[in-house]
Amino acid sequence: MVAGEQALLLRCQDIEDAVREGDPEDWTARYIERLRPILDECISSAREAVDRGETGLLLHAHRRLVAGVYQEIELHSQGASAVGRAALDRAFILHGCRCVSCIF
């Protein structure tokens, strides 16, 4: 589970670095746009896991990846202050924070 989250976190950070470099002033919309296909990819992978009958920790790992990318999109769409507050609270899922409750 941790390896998958770290790989996804690095992927998101690489994308953020690339879009920030291209336009340091107005990068957030492009970052979110680049994350949406990754979210779709994670959801598709989670659905395939369900179809294969995966349960327990294997399925939980897929849920965390979906939740982590979704959180990135949602926080960045709310602005830098939301991202900053989440960082101060150590609330990033891809940094190891756990969900209190999930609705899928």
Residues 29-82 pLDDT 10s: 999 999 999 999 999 999 999 999 988 888 889 999 999 999 999 999 998 889
Task: Tell me the domain boundaries of the chain.
Answer: 2-95
Residues 1-38 pLDDT 10s: 578 888 998 999 999 999 999 888 889 999 999 999 99
Question: What integer pLDDT is reported at residue 31 of this predicted model?
Answer: 95
- Nearest residue to 69 via CA among 93, 87, 47, 100: 93
- Contact in structure between 38 and 69 (CB atoms under 8 Å): yes
DSSP three-state, residue 57? helix
- Ramachandran area for residue 10 (φ above 0: left; ψ -120 to 50: alpha; else beta): alpha
Q: In angstroms, how far is CA 48 from the centroid of its own chain?
A: 19
